[in-house]
Structure 1
Amino acid sequence: MSTLHRRTVLVALGALAAPPIAVAAGARPAHAADRYPSNSALYAALASVEHVEWTRRFRRHATAHGGTQPFPDTTILAVHGGGIEPGTSELCIAIAGYRPSDEAPLTGRLYDHWLFEGLRSSGNADLHVTSTNCDDPVALSLAGGARRTVSLHGCSTAEAGLPDGTAAVLVGGRDQALKTRLRNRYEAAGIQHVDAATVPALSGTDPANIANRTLTGAGTQLELTTDLRAAMFTENTRPRRKHTTTAVFDAFVAATRLALTD
Protein backbone atom coordinates (compact mmCIF):
# COMPACT_ATOMS: atom_id res chain seq x y z
CA MET A 1 0.00 0.00 0.00
CA SER A 2 1.52 3.31 -0.96
CA THR A 3 1.34 6.26 1.41
CA LEU A 4 1.15 9.89 0.37
CA HIS A 5 2.40 12.45 2.90
CA ARG A 6 0.50 15.76 2.83
CA ARG A 7 -0.70 14.97 -0.68
CA THR A 8 -2.66 17.69 -2.40
CA VAL A 9 -6.28 16.55 -2.35
CA LEU A 10 -8.56 17.54 -5.17
CA VAL A 11 -10.42 20.63 -4.07
CA ALA A 12 -13.33 19.50 -6.19
CA LEU A 13 -13.93 16.64 -3.77
CA GLY A 14 -14.27 19.07 -0.93
CA ALA A 15 -16.69 21.13 -2.96
CA LEU A 16 -19.03 18.17 -3.09
CA ALA A 17 -19.68 18.47 0.62
CA ALA A 18 -22.50 20.67 1.78
CA PRO A 19 -21.61 24.02 3.37
CA PRO A 20 -21.53 24.18 7.16
CA ILE A 21 -24.94 23.92 8.80
CA ALA A 22 -25.97 25.85 11.88
CA VAL A 23 -25.00 24.23 15.17
CA ALA A 24 -27.72 21.85 16.36
CA ALA A 25 -27.88 18.56 18.25
CA GLY A 26 -24.50 17.19 19.17
CA ALA A 27 -22.77 20.56 19.35
CA ARG A 28 -21.24 21.55 22.68
CA PRO A 29 -22.99 24.60 24.21
CA ALA A 30 -19.75 25.79 25.80
CA HIS A 31 -18.39 26.43 22.31
CA ALA A 32 -21.52 27.91 20.76
CA ALA A 33 -19.67 31.23 20.41
CA ASP A 34 -16.34 30.10 18.96
CA ARG A 35 -14.01 32.95 18.10
CA TYR A 36 -13.87 31.68 14.50
CA PRO A 37 -17.05 30.48 12.75
CA SER A 38 -15.20 28.00 10.52
CA ASN A 39 -11.77 26.60 9.78
CA SER A 40 -11.50 28.73 6.67
CA ALA A 41 -12.17 31.87 8.72
CA LEU A 42 -9.48 30.85 11.21
CA TYR A 43 -7.01 30.10 8.42
CA ALA A 44 -7.61 33.51 6.86
CA ALA A 45 -7.29 35.40 10.15
CA LEU A 46 -4.21 33.52 11.38
CA ALA A 47 -2.41 32.72 8.13
CA SER A 48 0.78 34.39 9.30
CA VAL A 49 1.13 32.08 12.32
CA GLU A 50 0.44 28.72 10.69
CA HIS A 51 2.96 26.15 12.02
CA VAL A 52 3.66 28.54 14.91
CA GLU A 53 0.31 28.81 16.72
CA TRP A 54 -1.62 26.17 14.80
CA THR A 55 -1.13 23.52 12.18
CA ARG A 56 -3.04 20.87 10.23
CA ARG A 57 -1.73 17.47 9.23
CA PHE A 58 -3.08 14.60 7.23
CA ARG A 59 -2.18 11.37 5.57
CA ARG A 60 -4.08 9.72 2.75
CA HIS A 61 -3.49 6.18 1.53
CA ALA A 62 -4.03 4.66 -1.86
CA THR A 63 -3.85 1.12 -3.14
CA ALA A 64 -0.91 0.50 -5.44
CA HIS A 65 -1.92 -0.30 -9.00
CA GLY A 66 -2.71 -4.00 -9.19
CA GLY A 67 -2.49 -4.40 -5.43
CA THR A 68 -4.77 -6.52 -3.32
CA GLN A 69 -5.24 -4.17 -0.36
CA PRO A 70 -8.66 -2.51 -0.27
CA PHE A 71 -8.82 1.26 -0.54
CA PRO A 72 -9.03 2.63 3.02
CA ASP A 73 -12.67 3.22 3.87
CA THR A 74 -12.16 4.70 7.35
CA THR A 75 -10.90 8.14 8.35
CA ILE A 76 -9.62 9.03 11.82
CA LEU A 77 -10.05 12.66 12.88
CA ALA A 78 -8.74 14.96 15.60
CA VAL A 79 -10.35 18.30 14.82
CA HIS A 80 -9.31 19.81 18.18
CA GLY A 81 -5.83 18.39 18.59
CA GLY A 82 -2.66 19.71 20.14
CA GLY A 83 -3.41 21.98 23.09
CA ILE A 84 -7.11 22.40 22.30
CA GLU A 85 -8.30 19.01 23.58
CA PRO A 86 -5.05 17.44 24.80
CA GLY A 87 -4.34 13.84 23.93
CA THR A 88 -6.56 13.64 20.88
CA SER A 89 -3.69 14.13 18.41
CA GLU A 90 -1.73 11.22 19.83
CA LEU A 91 -4.83 9.02 19.86
CA CYS A 92 -5.64 9.92 16.26
CA ILE A 93 -2.15 9.00 15.06
CA ALA A 94 -2.10 5.72 16.99
CA ILE A 95 -5.59 4.58 16.00
CA ALA A 96 -4.67 5.33 12.39
CA GLY A 97 -1.86 2.78 12.78
CA TYR A 98 1.23 4.87 13.54
CA ARG A 99 3.53 5.24 16.55
CA PRO A 100 2.84 8.67 18.09
CA SER A 101 6.48 9.36 18.94
CA ASP A 102 7.79 9.29 15.37
CA GLU A 103 4.75 8.33 13.24
CA ALA A 104 6.40 5.13 12.04
CA PRO A 105 3.79 2.65 10.78
CA LEU A 106 2.89 -0.15 13.15
CA THR A 107 1.70 -3.66 12.35
CA GLY A 108 -1.82 -3.84 10.97
CA ARG A 109 -4.18 -1.78 8.90
CA LEU A 110 -3.36 1.87 8.23
CA TYR A 111 -6.12 4.44 8.08
CA ASP A 112 -6.47 7.89 6.54
CA HIS A 113 -6.35 10.64 9.14
CA TRP A 114 -6.59 14.40 9.55
CA LEU A 115 -5.66 16.64 12.49
CA PHE A 116 -6.01 20.30 13.37
CA GLU A 117 -3.74 21.25 16.26
CA GLY A 118 -3.30 24.20 18.57
CA LEU A 119 0.39 24.94 19.18
CA ARG A 120 0.13 27.87 21.59
CA SER A 121 1.64 27.72 25.06
CA SER A 122 -1.74 28.94 26.32
CA GLY A 123 -5.04 30.15 24.89
CA ASN A 124 -5.57 27.20 22.58
CA ALA A 125 -9.29 27.18 23.35
CA ASP A 126 -9.59 30.23 21.08
CA LEU A 127 -8.64 27.95 18.17
CA HIS A 128 -11.62 25.65 18.73
CA VAL A 129 -14.00 25.39 15.75
CA THR A 130 -17.02 23.26 16.53
CA SER A 131 -17.25 20.05 14.50
CA THR A 132 -20.39 21.12 12.66
CA ASN A 133 -18.50 24.11 11.24
CA CYS A 134 -15.38 22.26 10.09
CA ASP A 135 -14.96 23.23 6.43
CA ASP A 136 -11.34 22.31 5.80
CA PRO A 137 -11.34 20.95 2.21
CA VAL A 138 -8.95 18.09 3.02
CA ALA A 139 -10.96 17.04 6.07
CA LEU A 140 -14.16 17.14 4.03
CA SER A 141 -12.54 15.14 1.24
CA LEU A 142 -11.21 12.45 3.57
CA ALA A 143 -14.47 12.12 5.49
CA GLY A 144 -16.55 12.37 2.32
CA GLY A 145 -14.66 9.51 0.67
CA ALA A 146 -14.96 7.19 3.67
CA ARG A 147 -17.74 4.86 4.79
CA ARG A 148 -16.96 5.47 8.46
CA THR A 149 -15.04 7.81 10.73
CA VAL A 150 -13.69 7.88 14.25
CA SER A 151 -13.48 11.45 15.54
CA LEU A 152 -11.51 11.98 18.78
CA HIS A 153 -12.52 14.66 21.27
CA GLY A 154 -11.89 15.64 24.86
CA CYS A 155 -14.46 16.72 27.41
CA SER A 156 -14.67 17.44 31.12
CA THR A 157 -16.66 15.29 33.53
CA ALA A 158 -18.98 18.25 34.05
CA GLU A 159 -19.72 18.44 30.32
CA ALA A 160 -20.32 14.69 30.30
CA GLY A 161 -22.56 14.82 33.36
CA LEU A 162 -20.29 12.41 35.22
CA PRO A 163 -18.85 12.54 38.76
CA ASP A 164 -15.51 14.27 39.22
CA GLY A 165 -12.60 11.93 38.60
CA THR A 166 -14.45 9.65 36.20
CA ALA A 167 -12.23 8.17 33.49
CA ALA A 168 -14.64 7.29 30.70
CA VAL A 169 -15.34 7.59 27.00
CA LEU A 170 -18.66 8.74 25.57
CA VAL A 171 -19.39 6.88 22.35
CA GLY A 172 -21.49 8.93 19.96
CA GLY A 173 -22.21 9.62 16.31
CA ARG A 174 -24.73 8.31 13.80
CA ASP A 175 -23.02 4.99 12.97
CA GLN A 176 -24.98 2.72 15.29
CA ALA A 177 -23.24 -0.48 14.20
CA LEU A 178 -19.76 0.87 14.87
CA LYS A 179 -20.93 2.45 18.13
CA THR A 180 -22.02 -0.99 19.32
CA ARG A 181 -18.73 -2.61 18.31
CA LEU A 182 -16.74 0.13 20.04
CA ARG A 183 -18.71 -0.20 23.28
CA ASN A 184 -18.32 -3.98 23.21
CA ARG A 185 -14.56 -3.68 22.77
CA TYR A 186 -14.24 -1.07 25.52
CA GLU A 187 -16.27 -3.31 27.82
CA ALA A 188 -13.94 -6.21 27.10
CA ALA A 189 -10.90 -4.01 27.75
CA GLY A 190 -12.24 -2.74 31.08
CA ILE A 191 -12.65 0.83 29.81
CA GLN A 192 -15.63 2.68 31.23
CA HIS A 193 -17.94 3.81 28.45
CA VAL A 194 -21.17 5.76 28.13
CA ASP A 195 -23.66 5.95 25.27
CA ALA A 196 -23.34 9.59 24.23
CA ALA A 197 -26.99 9.54 23.19
CA THR A 198 -27.70 10.11 26.89
CA VAL A 199 -25.73 13.39 26.77
CA PRO A 200 -27.33 15.41 23.92
CA ALA A 201 -24.64 18.10 23.87
CA LEU A 202 -21.98 15.46 23.19
CA SER A 203 -24.03 13.01 21.14
CA GLY A 204 -22.27 13.78 17.84
CA THR A 205 -25.44 13.08 15.88
CA ASP A 206 -25.76 16.30 13.88
CA PRO A 207 -25.53 15.42 10.15
CA ALA A 208 -23.29 18.49 9.71
CA ASN A 209 -20.73 17.14 12.18
CA ILE A 210 -17.57 16.32 10.22
CA ALA A 211 -17.72 12.83 11.76
CA ASN A 212 -21.00 12.18 9.92
CA ARG A 213 -20.13 13.73 6.58
CA THR A 214 -19.24 10.37 5.10
CA LEU A 215 -20.44 8.35 2.14
CA THR A 216 -23.04 6.79 4.44
CA GLY A 217 -23.94 9.96 6.34
CA ALA A 218 -22.77 8.33 9.56
CA GLY A 219 -19.64 8.16 11.67
CA THR A 220 -18.58 7.95 15.30
CA GLN A 221 -17.48 10.55 17.81
CA LEU A 222 -15.50 9.62 20.92
CA GLU A 223 -15.46 12.09 23.82
CA LEU A 224 -12.80 11.16 26.37
CA THR A 225 -12.97 12.74 29.79
CA THR A 226 -10.02 14.69 31.12
CA ASP A 227 -9.29 11.95 33.66
CA LEU A 228 -9.18 9.20 31.05
CA ARG A 229 -6.83 11.20 28.87
CA ALA A 230 -4.62 12.10 31.84
CA ALA A 231 -4.20 8.38 32.60
CA MET A 232 -2.87 7.82 29.09
CA PHE A 233 0.37 9.80 29.56
CA THR A 234 3.02 9.96 32.26
CA GLU A 235 3.97 13.47 31.11
CA ASN A 236 0.82 15.20 29.96
CA THR A 237 2.33 18.10 28.02
CA ARG A 238 2.18 18.74 24.30
CA PRO A 239 5.91 18.11 23.69
CA ARG A 240 6.04 14.97 25.85
CA ARG A 241 2.70 13.20 25.44
CA LYS A 242 3.72 11.36 22.29
CA HIS A 243 6.79 9.95 24.07
CA THR A 244 5.12 8.91 27.34
CA THR A 245 2.03 6.88 26.50
CA THR A 246 0.84 4.36 29.10
CA ALA A 247 -0.86 0.97 29.16
CA VAL A 248 -4.21 2.77 29.35
CA PHE A 249 -3.42 4.51 26.06
CA ASP A 250 -2.39 1.22 24.47
CA ALA A 251 -5.53 -0.55 25.67
CA PHE A 252 -7.81 2.18 24.33
CA VAL A 253 -6.08 2.25 20.95
CA ALA A 254 -6.12 -1.53 20.65
CA ALA A 255 -9.82 -1.75 21.55
CA THR A 256 -10.72 0.96 19.03
CA ARG A 257 -8.73 -0.68 16.26
CA LEU A 258 -10.28 -4.06 17.02
CA ALA A 259 -13.73 -2.51 16.73
CA LEU A 260 -12.82 -1.21 13.28
CA THR A 261 -11.81 -4.68 12.11
CA ASP A 262 -14.68 -6.60 13.76
Structure 2
Amino acid sequence: MNRRTVLASAFATAAAGTPLVTGVGASAAHAAGEDDFYRSNTDLYTQLSGREGADFGRRYKRHQMLDSDLSGTSRFHRTTVMALHGGGIEIGTSELCLGIAGYDPEDLSVWTPDGGPVHDYWMFEGLLSAGNSKLHVTSKNCDDHVALSMAASSLNVLSLHGCKEEQAGAAMSVVVGGLNTAFKTYLHEALSSAGFNTIDGSTNDDLAGINRSNPCNLTMLNMGGQLEITTDLRQSLFGDYSSRAARAGSATSDADFVRFTGACRKAIARLEARADQQIL
Protein backbone atom coordinates (compact mmCIF):
# COMPACT_ATOMS: atom_id res chain seq x y z
CA MET A 1 0.00 0.00 0.00
CA ASN A 2 1.51 3.35 -1.01
CA ARG A 3 1.59 6.50 1.10
CA ARG A 4 -1.17 8.22 -0.88
CA THR A 5 -3.51 5.26 -0.28
CA VAL A 6 -2.70 5.29 3.42
CA LEU A 7 -3.29 9.05 3.65
CA ALA A 8 -6.53 8.81 1.71
CA SER A 9 -7.80 6.27 4.23
CA ALA A 10 -6.62 8.43 7.13
CA PHE A 11 -8.28 11.51 5.63
CA ALA A 12 -11.60 9.70 5.28
CA THR A 13 -11.33 8.66 8.93
CA ALA A 14 -10.61 12.23 10.08
CA ALA A 15 -13.38 13.67 7.93
CA ALA A 16 -15.82 11.29 9.54
CA GLY A 17 -14.83 12.62 12.95
CA THR A 18 -12.90 9.53 14.08
CA PRO A 19 -9.59 10.30 15.80
CA LEU A 20 -6.45 9.38 13.89
CA VAL A 21 -4.71 6.59 15.80
CA THR A 22 -2.06 5.68 13.24
CA GLY A 23 -0.22 9.00 13.40
CA VAL A 24 -0.09 9.17 9.60
CA GLY A 25 0.09 12.78 8.47
CA ALA A 26 0.59 14.04 12.02
CA SER A 27 4.14 15.30 11.48
CA ALA A 28 4.89 18.90 10.66
CA ALA A 29 4.39 19.80 7.02
CA HIS A 30 7.71 19.99 5.22
CA ALA A 31 8.37 23.20 3.34
CA ALA A 32 9.96 21.39 0.39
CA GLY A 33 6.72 19.52 -0.29
CA GLU A 34 7.91 15.94 -0.75
CA ASP A 35 5.40 14.77 1.86
CA ASP A 36 2.42 16.66 0.43
CA PHE A 37 -0.64 14.56 -0.30
CA TYR A 38 -2.01 17.03 -2.86
CA ARG A 39 0.01 18.18 -5.87
CA SER A 40 -1.54 21.67 -5.87
CA ASN A 41 -4.47 23.65 -4.55
CA THR A 42 -6.42 22.72 -7.67
CA ASP A 43 -5.74 19.05 -6.97
CA LEU A 44 -6.98 19.51 -3.40
CA TYR A 45 -10.09 21.43 -4.46
CA THR A 46 -10.88 18.73 -7.04
CA GLN A 47 -10.40 15.77 -4.73
CA LEU A 48 -12.31 17.46 -1.89
CA SER A 49 -15.10 18.83 -4.05
CA GLY A 50 -18.08 19.73 -1.88
CA ARG A 51 -16.01 19.78 1.32
CA GLU A 52 -15.19 23.51 1.39
CA GLY A 53 -16.47 24.94 4.65
CA ALA A 54 -16.21 21.57 6.35
CA ASP A 55 -12.67 20.28 5.71
CA PHE A 56 -11.05 23.47 4.43
CA GLY A 57 -11.84 27.11 3.80
CA ARG A 58 -10.58 30.15 1.94
CA ARG A 59 -10.88 33.78 3.00
CA TYR A 60 -9.64 36.92 1.33
CA LYS A 61 -10.27 40.63 1.06
CA ARG A 62 -9.41 42.96 -1.77
CA HIS A 63 -10.03 46.55 -0.87
CA GLN A 64 -11.78 48.78 -3.33
CA MET A 65 -9.49 50.95 -5.40
CA LEU A 66 -10.92 53.85 -7.35
CA ASP A 67 -9.34 56.61 -9.41
CA SER A 68 -11.84 58.78 -11.26
CA ASP A 69 -9.63 61.88 -11.37
CA LEU A 70 -8.09 62.37 -14.81
CA SER A 71 -5.54 64.86 -13.48
CA GLY A 72 -3.63 62.55 -11.14
CA THR A 73 -3.33 59.18 -9.46
CA SER A 74 -5.03 58.10 -6.27
CA ARG A 75 -3.61 56.08 -3.39
CA PHE A 76 -3.50 52.34 -4.01
CA HIS A 77 -2.90 49.25 -1.88
CA ARG A 78 0.63 47.99 -2.23
CA THR A 79 0.83 44.97 0.10
CA THR A 80 -1.02 41.68 0.48
CA VAL A 81 -0.65 39.51 3.60
CA MET A 82 -1.03 35.76 3.12
CA ALA A 83 -1.38 32.60 5.20
CA LEU A 84 -1.15 29.69 2.77
CA HIS A 85 -1.39 27.07 5.53
CA GLY A 86 -3.78 28.64 8.01
CA GLY A 87 -6.41 27.22 10.31
CA GLY A 88 -5.31 23.93 11.82
CA ILE A 89 -2.39 23.38 9.44
CA GLU A 90 0.15 25.90 10.75
CA ILE A 91 -1.83 27.09 13.73
CA GLY A 92 -1.95 30.81 14.49
CA THR A 93 -0.99 32.01 11.02
CA SER A 94 -4.59 32.87 10.06
CA GLU A 95 -5.01 35.14 13.05
CA LEU A 96 -1.61 36.73 12.51
CA CYS A 97 -2.44 37.31 8.85
CA LEU A 98 -5.59 39.19 9.81
CA GLY A 99 -3.87 41.14 12.57
CA ILE A 100 -1.03 42.28 10.31
CA ALA A 101 -3.57 43.22 7.63
CA GLY A 102 -5.26 45.44 10.21
CA TYR A 103 -8.25 43.34 11.25
CA ASP A 104 -9.44 41.83 14.52
CA PRO A 105 -9.46 38.03 13.96
CA GLU A 106 -12.54 37.63 16.15
CA ASP A 107 -15.00 39.75 14.21
CA LEU A 108 -13.02 41.14 11.25
CA SER A 109 -13.59 44.70 12.40
CA VAL A 110 -10.83 47.15 11.50
CA TRP A 111 -8.10 46.99 14.14
CA THR A 112 -5.22 49.37 13.53
CA PRO A 113 -3.76 50.46 16.88
CA ASP A 114 -0.84 52.06 15.01
CA GLY A 115 -3.24 54.22 13.04
CA GLY A 116 -1.92 52.81 9.78
CA PRO A 117 -3.77 51.44 6.75
CA VAL A 118 -5.47 48.11 6.21
CA HIS A 119 -3.93 45.65 3.73
CA ASP A 120 -5.34 43.06 1.38
CA TYR A 121 -5.19 39.48 2.66
CA TRP A 122 -5.66 35.89 1.47
CA MET A 123 -5.62 32.63 3.41
CA PHE A 124 -6.25 28.92 3.02
CA GLU A 125 -7.37 27.19 6.24
CA GLY A 126 -7.58 23.61 7.45
CA LEU A 127 -10.86 23.05 9.28
CA LEU A 128 -10.58 19.39 10.30
CA SER A 129 -10.86 18.45 13.97
CA ALA A 130 -7.56 16.57 13.60
CA GLY A 131 -4.98 15.71 10.97
CA ASN A 132 -4.93 19.07 9.18
CA SER A 133 -1.30 18.59 8.11
CA LYS A 134 -2.50 16.46 5.18
CA LEU A 135 -4.11 19.61 3.72
CA HIS A 136 -0.70 21.24 3.35
CA VAL A 137 0.22 22.26 -0.21
CA THR A 138 3.79 23.52 -0.41
CA SER A 139 4.01 27.17 -1.39
CA LYS A 140 5.65 26.69 -4.79
CA ASN A 141 2.70 24.47 -5.80
CA CYS A 142 0.00 26.95 -4.79
CA ASP A 143 -2.11 27.62 -7.88
CA ASP A 144 -5.20 29.14 -6.30
CA HIS A 145 -6.29 31.69 -8.89
CA VAL A 146 -7.33 34.33 -6.35
CA ALA A 147 -4.09 34.00 -4.38
CA LEU A 148 -1.95 34.26 -7.52
CA SER A 149 -3.94 37.18 -8.94
CA MET A 150 -3.65 39.07 -5.66
CA ALA A 151 0.11 38.48 -5.50
CA ALA A 152 0.53 39.50 -9.15
CA SER A 153 -1.32 42.78 -8.60
CA SER A 154 0.61 43.66 -5.42
CA LEU A 155 3.99 45.30 -5.11
CA ASN A 156 4.62 43.27 -1.95
CA VAL A 157 3.47 40.07 -0.30
CA LEU A 158 4.19 39.07 3.29
CA SER A 159 3.54 35.33 3.60
CA LEU A 160 3.19 33.76 7.05
CA HIS A 161 4.09 30.17 7.86
CA GLY A 162 4.66 27.94 10.85
CA CYS A 163 7.61 25.64 11.50
CA LYS A 164 8.96 23.53 14.33
CA GLU A 165 11.78 24.71 16.57
CA GLU A 166 14.10 22.01 15.21
CA GLN A 167 13.42 23.14 11.65
CA ALA A 168 14.38 26.72 12.53
CA GLY A 169 17.35 25.64 14.64
CA ALA A 170 16.22 27.66 17.65
CA ALA A 171 13.26 27.99 19.98
CA MET A 172 10.96 31.04 20.14
CA SER A 173 12.19 32.32 16.77
CA VAL A 174 11.02 33.61 13.42
CA VAL A 175 12.91 32.85 10.20
CA VAL A 176 12.83 35.83 7.85
CA GLY A 177 12.94 34.96 4.16
CA GLY A 178 11.83 35.98 0.69
CA LEU A 179 13.64 37.54 -2.26
CA ASN A 180 13.11 41.19 -1.24
CA THR A 181 16.30 41.92 0.71
CA ALA A 182 15.11 45.37 1.82
CA PHE A 183 11.88 43.88 3.17
CA LYS A 184 13.89 41.19 4.98
CA THR A 185 16.05 43.86 6.59
CA TYR A 186 13.05 45.87 7.74
CA LEU A 187 11.36 42.76 9.16
CA HIS A 188 14.54 41.73 10.99
CA GLU A 189 14.97 45.18 12.49
CA ALA A 190 11.33 45.71 13.47
CA LEU A 191 10.86 42.25 14.99
CA SER A 192 14.20 42.36 16.81
CA SER A 193 13.40 45.79 18.22
CA ALA A 194 10.08 44.38 19.46
CA GLY A 195 11.95 41.67 21.38
CA PHE A 196 11.64 38.69 19.02
CA ASN A 197 14.51 36.45 17.96
CA THR A 198 14.95 36.51 14.18
CA ILE A 199 16.95 34.16 11.97
CA ASP A 200 18.14 34.95 8.45
CA GLY A 201 16.34 32.65 6.04
CA SER A 202 19.44 32.45 3.85
CA THR A 203 20.94 30.14 6.48
CA ASN A 204 18.15 27.59 6.01
CA ASP A 205 17.34 26.63 2.42
CA ASP A 206 14.14 24.85 3.41
CA LEU A 207 12.70 27.97 5.07
CA ALA A 208 14.30 30.65 2.89
CA GLY A 209 11.25 31.52 0.78
CA ILE A 210 13.39 32.09 -2.30
CA ASN A 211 11.65 29.85 -4.82
CA ARG A 212 10.41 32.08 -7.62
CA SER A 213 7.15 30.12 -7.78
CA ASN A 214 6.43 30.92 -4.14
CA PRO A 215 3.47 33.37 -4.08
CA CYS A 216 5.47 35.71 -1.84
CA ASN A 217 7.76 36.30 -4.83
CA LEU A 218 5.09 36.39 -7.55
CA THR A 219 4.52 40.10 -7.06
CA MET A 220 4.79 43.02 -9.47
CA LEU A 221 8.40 43.35 -8.32
CA ASN A 222 9.10 39.58 -8.49
CA MET A 223 10.10 39.50 -4.85
CA GLY A 224 8.52 39.55 -1.40
CA GLY A 225 8.84 38.54 2.25
CA GLN A 226 8.16 35.37 4.20
CA LEU A 227 8.07 34.56 7.91
CA GLU A 228 8.43 31.02 9.30
CA ILE A 229 7.36 31.21 12.95
CA THR A 230 8.21 28.43 15.38
CA THR A 231 5.39 26.61 17.15
CA ASP A 232 6.38 27.80 20.62
CA LEU A 233 6.52 31.42 19.48
CA ARG A 234 3.11 31.18 17.81
CA GLN A 235 1.67 29.69 21.00
CA SER A 236 3.08 32.57 23.04
CA LEU A 237 1.31 35.19 20.91
CA PHE A 238 -2.18 34.23 22.10
CA GLY A 239 -3.85 34.44 25.47
CA ASP A 240 -5.57 31.16 24.63
CA TYR A 241 -4.15 28.93 21.88
CA SER A 242 -6.45 25.96 22.47
CA SER A 243 -8.96 26.41 19.65
CA ARG A 244 -9.82 28.49 16.62
CA ALA A 245 -12.37 30.56 18.56
CA ALA A 246 -10.05 30.94 21.55
CA ARG A 247 -7.17 32.20 19.42
CA ALA A 248 -9.37 34.71 17.60
CA GLY A 249 -10.94 35.92 20.84
CA SER A 250 -7.67 36.38 22.71
CA ALA A 251 -5.47 37.76 19.93
CA THR A 252 -5.81 41.53 20.07
CA SER A 253 -5.83 41.61 23.87
CA ASP A 254 -2.50 39.77 24.08
CA ALA A 255 0.50 42.09 24.38
CA ASP A 256 2.80 39.76 22.45
CA PHE A 257 0.34 39.47 19.55
CA VAL A 258 0.10 43.26 19.44
CA ARG A 259 3.91 43.61 19.49
CA PHE A 260 4.44 40.99 16.76
CA THR A 261 1.78 42.25 14.38
CA GLY A 262 2.78 45.84 15.08
CA ALA A 263 6.40 45.09 14.19
CA CYS A 264 5.34 43.51 10.89
CA ARG A 265 3.13 46.48 10.09
CA LYS A 266 6.02 48.82 10.89
CA ALA A 267 8.24 46.94 8.43
CA ILE A 268 5.53 47.09 5.77
CA ALA A 269 5.06 50.84 6.28
CA ARG A 270 8.81 51.38 5.98
CA LEU A 271 8.90 49.33 2.78
CA GLU A 272 5.94 51.15 1.26
CA ALA A 273 7.66 54.49 1.87
CA ARG A 274 10.50 53.58 -0.49
CA ALA A 275 10.86 55.27 -3.88
CA ASP A 276 10.55 51.93 -5.70
CA GLN A 277 7.04 51.54 -4.28
CA GLN A 278 5.60 54.12 -6.66
CA ILE A 279 3.72 53.19 -9.83
CA LEU A 280 3.90 55.93 -12.46
Deviation above 6 Å: which 4+ runs of structure 1?
A: none
Partners of 1:189 and 1:239 in 2: how far apart?
26
The one of 120, 139, 153 aligned to 2:147: 139
Partners of 2:31 and 2:63 in 1: how far apart?
35
Q: 1:37 maps to which residue?
A: 39
> How far is the alpha carbon of 1:31 from its aligned partner?
3.4
After superposition, what is the alpha-carbon deviation per residue over 1:213-252, rounded to whole angstroms, capped at 9, x for unaligned? Answer: 1111101110000111010112212221011122111100
The one of 223, 240, 254 aligned to 1:218: 223
RMSD: 1.5
Q: 1:242 maps to which residue?
A: 248
The one of 85, 102, 105 aligned to 1:100: 105
The one of 60, 71, 80 aligned to 2:76: 71
Give runs of aligned pairs for residues 77-96 of structure 1, distance below 5 A.
Answer: 77-96=82-101
* Mapped contact 1:62–1:72 kept (Cα < 8 A): no
> How far is the alpha carbon of 1:101 from its aligned partner?
1.0
SS in 1 for 2:83: strand
Q: Is 1:155–2:163 an aligned residue pair?
A: yes
The one of 124, 128, 135 aligned to 1:120: 128
* Mapped contact 1:204–1:221 kept (Cα < 8 A): yes
Question: Cα gap change, 1:178/1:217 in structure 2, threshold over 3 Å: closer, same or farther?
Answer: same
* Mapped contact 1:62–1:71 kept (Cα < 8 A): no
Q: 1:258 maps to which residue?
A: 266
Partners of 1:34 and 1:77 in 2: how far apart?
20
> How far is the alpha carbon of 1:65 from its aligned partner?
3.9
Q: 1:23 maps to which residue?
A: none
Q: 2:50 maps to which residue?
A: 48
Q: Percent identity?
A: 45
Q: Which amino acid aligns with 2:58?
A: R
* Mapped contact 1:182–1:256 kept (Cα < 8 A): yes
Partners of 1:30 and 1:131 in 2: how far apart?
8
Partners of 2:126 and 2:57 in 1: how far apart?
7
Partners of 1:89 and 1:33 in 2: how far apart?
22
Q: Which runs of 5+ in 2 are unaligned?
A: 1-28, 271-280
Q: Which amino acid aligns with 2:117?
A: R
After superposition, what is the alpha-carbon deviation per residue over 1:27-65, rounded to whole angstroms, capped at 9, x for unaligned? Answer: 946631310000000001101211011000110012234
Structure-1-length-normalised TM-score: 0.86
SS in 2 for 1:31: coil
Q: Is 1:129–2:137 an aligned residue pair?
A: yes
Partners of 1:171 and 1:157 in 2: how far apart?
14
Structure-2-length-normalised TM-score: 0.80
Partners of 1:222 and 1:38 in 2: how far apart?
21
Q: Which runs of 5+ in 1 are unaligned?
A: 1-26
Give runs of aligned pairs for residues 158-177 of structure 1, distance below 5 A.
Answer: 158-162=166-170, 166-177=171-182
Q: 2:15 maps to which residue?
A: none
User: Structure 1 stretch 56-65 or stretch 134-143: which is displaced more?
Assistant: 56-65
Q: Is 1:205–2:207 an aligned residue pair?
A: no
Partners of 1:92 and 1:154 in 2: how far apart?
12
